């Protein structure tokens, strides 16, 4: 059981920022990754559609006898977690709770900013989780839909990107937030410019690294850490694999030797 892989899915390449953090935190774990590139983006789709896609993705990962599934996509985590937990017996971990926990614990003035896709922001999933931890936190959220194509295009700094980031984040700055949650798989790539725009007094919470820490804690607690030396990870995409590899390597921060087409959709 311990050496079974961890399954991770996302709407596309973005979830590789989560894979990157999981690989760092848990170097002996084997990972099976599925990017639903044929149906990306999820962040603008209806709740029903996101639930259906998420269940199909988890079913695909189950074929590999995964011991745990990480829903790397913030949009899917916001909407589909209860449906997934009901349907699958293995632990299903979303990215919202770990990011919310971290933000609630590091804020000093109790004013937290949350940025994500329109779906994630509309769902108020971060607000709910943060308020569960402490009622007196004020949350200011904003959807930043243009950040996703900017990150995929590799426009990670420069004037155009800085101007767009400023335009989205100005209202959060006015609200005097001291903590900002990057509630989308793509945003860690823009962390440099985001941090410059909000200023160094604002602490940035990256939900990708927060979830990796949470998964490590769960596996340790359950005594289910793998001992695989140099695990062979597997990468699947539901559309053009070459494009997935090309863009994905930037998100993963290392080479993807091989990716395969998943044909469940």
Q: What positions carry a catalytic annotation?
A: 73, 184
Assess 161 for contact with ligand DGL (CB under 6 A): no
Interface with ligand DGL (CB under 6 A), residue from 8, 22, 40, 241: 40
Contact (Cβ atoms closer than 8 angstroms) between residue 13 and residue 35: yes
Residue 14 binds ligand DGL (CB under 6 A): yes
Instruction: Determine if 120 is a binding residue for ligand DGL (CB under 6 A).
Output: yes
Instruction: Looking at residues 166 to 185 of the shown chain, list those that interact with ligand DGL (rule: CB under 6 A).
Output: 184-185
User: Which of 8, 148, 151, 190 touches ligand DGL (CB under 6 A)?
Assistant: 148
In whole angstroms, how close is the CB of 114 to ligand DGL at the nearest point? 12
Spacing of C-alpha 80 from chain mean position:
14
Is residue 7 near ligand DGL by the rule CB under 6 A?
no
* Residue 42 in the binding site for ligand DGL (CB under 6 A): yes
Kindly give the pairing relationship between strand 6-10 and strand 259-261.
unpaired
Whole-number Å distance between alpha carbons of 212 and 210: 6
Place of tokens 């904003």: 142
Query: In angstroms, what is the minimal distance from the CB of 43 to ligand DGL?
Result: 3
Residue 121 sits in the site that holds ligand DGL (CB under 6 A): no
Rounded least distance, CB 110 to ligand DGL, Å: 25
Site stretch for ligand DGL (CB under 6 A), options 5-13, 212-220, 223-231, 255-263 = 5-13
| Residues 84 and 61: beta-carbon distance below 8 Å | no
- All residues at 6 or more sequence positions from 210 whose CB lies less than 8 Å from its CB, including other chains: 95, 98, 99, 101, 102
Determine if 57 is a binding residue for ligand DGL (CB under 6 A). Answer: no
Asked if 19 is part of the footprint of ligand DGL (rule: CB under 6 A), the reply reads no
Q: Which residue is nearest to ligand DGL (CB)?
A: 43
Considering the complex, what minimum distance in angstroms separates the CB of residue 169 from ligand DGL?
17
CB of 225 to ligand DGL, least distance (A): 27
For ligand DGL, give the closer residue by CB, 143 or 226. Answer: 143
Residue 80 or 104: the one with the smaller Cβ distance to ligand DGL is 80
Interface residues toward ligand DGL, by CB under 6 A: 10-12, 14, 40-43, 73-75, 116-117, 120, 148, 184-186
């Amino acid at each position: 059981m311990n050496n079974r892989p961890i399954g991770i899915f996302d709407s596309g390449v973005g979830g590789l920022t989560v894979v990157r953090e999981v690989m760092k935190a848990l170097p002996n774990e084997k990972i099976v990754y599925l990017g639903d590139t044929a149906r990306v983006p999820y962040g603008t789709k209806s709740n029903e559609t996101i639930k259906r896609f998420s269940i199909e993705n988890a079913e695909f990962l189950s074929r590999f006898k995964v011991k745990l599934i990480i829903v790397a996509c913030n949009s899917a985590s916001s909407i589909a977690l209860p449906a997934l937990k009901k349907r699958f017996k293995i632990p299903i971990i979303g990215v919202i709770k770990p990011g919310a926990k971290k933000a609630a614990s590091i804020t000093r003035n109790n004013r937290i900013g949350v940025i994500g896709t329109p779906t994630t922001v509309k769902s108020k999933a971060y607000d709910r989780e943060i308020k569960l931890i402490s009622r007196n936190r004020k949350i200011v959220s904003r959807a930043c839909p243009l950040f996703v194509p900017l990150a995929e295009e590799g426009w990670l700094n420069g004037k155009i990107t800085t101007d767009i980031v400023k335009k989205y984040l100005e209202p959060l700055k006015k609200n005097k937030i001291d903590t900002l949650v990057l509630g989308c798989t793509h945003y860690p790539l823009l962390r440099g410019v985001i941090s410059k725009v909000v200023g160094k007094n604002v602490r940035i919470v990256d939900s990708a690294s927060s979830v990796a820490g949470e998964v490590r804690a769960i596996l340790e607690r359950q005594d289910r850490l793998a001992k695989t030396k140099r695990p062979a990870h597997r990468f699947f995409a539901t559309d053009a694999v070459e494009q997935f590899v090309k863009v994905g390597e930037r998100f993963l921060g290392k080479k993807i030797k091989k990716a395969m087409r998943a044909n469940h959709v």
